[in-house]
Amino acid sequence: MFLGWSLGANDAANVFGTAVGSRMVSFTKAAFICGIFVILGAVVSGAGAAQTLGKLGSINAIGGSFMAALAAGLTVYWMTRLGLPVSTTQAIIGSIMGWNFFSDSYTDLSSLFKILSTWILCPVLSAVIASVIFVLARKFVRVIRIGLIRLDGYTRLALILSGAFGAYSLGANNIANVMGVFVPVSPFQAMQLTDDLLISSAQQLFLIGGLAIAIGVFTYSKRVMMTVGSELMRLTPLAAWVAVMAHSIVLFLFASEQLEQWLASLNLPTIPLVPVSSSQAVVGAVIGIGMAQGGHEVHWNRLFSIIKGWFLTPLISCMICFFGLFFLQNVFLQSVKNETRFQLSESVLEKLKNNDIDFTGLKDLENTTYSTSGNLTRTLREHGELNNDDALKAIEFAELKRIRLDPGKMDQLDESLLTENQRMTLGQLKGQRFNHTWEFNDALMELSEEWRIQGGLKNKLSDRKTLQKLSYLHRHFLE
């Protein structure tokens, strides 16, 4: 909640900073609208980006999640005190990397590079969109020749509407930064309010995070709003609207599962669902507007200080998290990571071979157990080349997660999450034990096509829903 408060205090500036800085919308009105729509975005559309963040580092103990969130929150709070619109995304990524280093956990390089690439793509894309919208909007205003008073009224309304859209996009995309590290260890159970309304465990987390963001907006965001709204470049009301729209569009593009599915259905490249920096998006938008006007009005010294904050943020957050975990574990005797074991059993070696991961001499390692995923991947690299995809598969296959379909737990299952056919196939496995989650998954897939992961762009959304159901069953039946 402290991290959510810090995000609200810092990133609300990216939604309404230009409107407040240009004196077109009052701070109180901006904070109220922002608070409502950021909660809606978090609860309704927050799941997509949170999943990618979870792949980067799956923190498996509540103590580790606590320190990762605290380190990111402290970093963002410190930068906010300095009046810098820093990236909460970069802060939480730094924290997760700190946990990975401390726990000797393998880092998913593809997810990391995907997120890092957006740190360049996000401000550039926002600048391009903003410059195009600004040029078109300015021509449109000249053509229609509206009176100044009426234009002022329309601009205020447009700023409020675009701010509401921006707040929704902020909640949908950046709630992953606030609550993503808690999703694997969530203490909540799904709530069935009505026949058609189910609030999942993750959505309950997102609601709490959204409320914390809203409180941060009300209590501590005004100073950063003025930095974005006036200190980087003096904006006209029209330019302020353009900046908010460009920022909102970029955040929405990186958070919408429906857009991803629609692009996939047309066989078009999809946009990665990752938490991107709203600070980078709005700064990119302001620079795009400035460049469309010739670039003379941009305060470049202020921009360089903001960029310096972007570089420092993940490094500071990583160090705070790493040393904080050590302190939390050894001074307060808290569990910051749960014991996880990886075993290269005969079935695992066969599964690796079936997936074209076959190293010379692995037979000699049969039934060897490893305490960390980092130790496992280092051993495999000693027996041959290991790319990122193969490393992730090896970790998934070797991880010991004993699952038993206990009849008592079967009765406690939330059957509303499953189709009738899925419930029937699950019942056929009642009483069986599995040493690995993939063994359980394979058993279900053999019984019904509804459990099969189809693969391909067109099936991304349906595959994601199937994986969410399997993850729920893993947690429910874990011994």
Contact 156, 24 (CB under 8 A): yes
pLDDT: which is higher, 331 or 190: 331
SS3 of 223, please?
Answer: helix
Q: 369 pLDDT exceeds 70?
A: yes
With pLDDT > 70 as the criterion, what percentage of the chain qualifies?
91
Residues contacting 475, CB < 8 A, separation 6+: none
Q: pLDDT value at position 328?
A: 93
- Which candidate, 127, 125, 175, places its Cα nearest to that of 275? 175
Per-residue confidence band for 227, with pLDDT thresholds at 50, 70 and 90: low
Picking from 183, 230, 244, 248, the residue whose alpha carbon sits closest to that of residue 209 is 183
Could you report the per-residue pLDDT of 346-364, keeping only the tens digit for each? Answer: 898 888 888 887 666 677 7
Whole-number Å distance between alpha carbons of 414 and 191: 9
The yes-or-no verdict on residue 429 having pLDDT over 80 is: yes
Residue 256 is predicted with a pLDDT of: 75
Report, in angstroms and rounded to the nearest whole number, the Rg of the chain calculated over CA atoms: 24
Which of 197, 284, 407 is CA-nearest to residue 18?
284
Lookup result for tokens 């069986």: 432
* Tokens, residue 27: 């701070």
Half-sphere exposure of 247 (CA within 13 A, CB side): 38
Element at 433 (helix H, strand E): strand 433-434
| Gap between the Cα atoms of 190 and 181, Å rounded | 18
Q: State how far the Cα of 403 lies from the Cα of 258, in Å rounded to an integer.
A: 33
Residue 236: the pLDDT is 79
- Minimum mean pLDDT range among 43-52, 163-172, 309-318: 43-52
Mean pLDDT for the chain overall: 83
- pLDDT tier for residue 197 given thresholds of 50, 70 and 90: low
pLDDT given for residue 356 in this prediction: 81
Name the residue type at position 139. Answer: K
Q: Which one, of 69, 56, 67, 102, lies nearest residue 388 by Cα?
A: 56
Half-sphere exposure of 176 (CA within 13 A, CB side): 34
Q: What confidence tens digit (pLDDT) does each residue in 206-220 have?
A: 889 889 988 988 888
Whether 178 shows a pLDDT value over 60: the answer reads: yes
Dist. CA 215–CA 438, nearest whole Å: 42
Q: What's the CA dihedral at 307, 310, 313, 318 to 10 degrees? A: -130
**Rounded percentage of the chain residues whose pLDDT exceeds 90:** 18
Report DSSP state, residue 107: P
At 464 the pLDDT is 75
Least confident of 48-57, 139-148, 403-412: 48-57
Rounded to an integer, what distance in angstroms lies between the CA atom of residue 39 and that of residue 53? 20
Residue 255 to residue 47: CA distance in whole angstroms? 8
Angle at 440 between CA 434 and CA 441, to 5 degrees: 160
Q: Residue 199: which H helix or E strand, with range?
A: strand 198-199
Distance CA 127, CA 281 (A): 8
228 or 234, greater pLDDT: 234
Instruction: Please provide residue 144's backbone torsions phi and psi, each rounded to the nearest 5 degrees.
Output: -80, -20
Q: What average pLDDT does this structure show over 186-211?
A: 76
Residue of 410, 432, 433, 436 lying closest to 423 (CA atoms): 410
> In this predicted model, what pLDDT tens digit does every residue of 45-76 receive, in sequence order?
776 566 666 667 678 788 888 899 899 889 88
pLDDT at 265 over 80: no
The per-residue pLDDT for range 11-30, each reduced to its tens digit, is 776 788 777 777 788 888 88
Per-residue pLDDT, 335: 87
**420 vs 156, 192, 194, 426, CA distance in Å?**
51, 17, 19, 10
> Within a 10 A sphere around the Cβ of 330, how many other Cβ atoms?
10
Write down the pLDDT at residue 99: 92
pLDDT (tens digit per residue) in 317-344: 999 999 999 999 999 888 888 888 999 8
Work out the average pLDDT over 187-193. 71
Q: How many C-beta neighbours within 10 Å does residue 134 have?
A: 25
Backbone region of residue 211 per phi and psi (left: phi > 0; alpha: psi in -120 to 50; beta: other values)? alpha
pLDDT the model gives residue 52: 62
Supply 407's token pair. 């009849």
Residues in the chain: 479
Task: Give the global pTM.
Answer: 0.78
What pLDDT, on the 0 to 100 scale, is given for residue 322?
95
Cα 109 to Cα 114, 269, 282, 404, 450: the distances in Å are 8, 21, 27, 32, 30
Helix axes 109-144, 47-56, angle to 10 degrees: 150
Tokens 């391909």 sit at which residue?
456
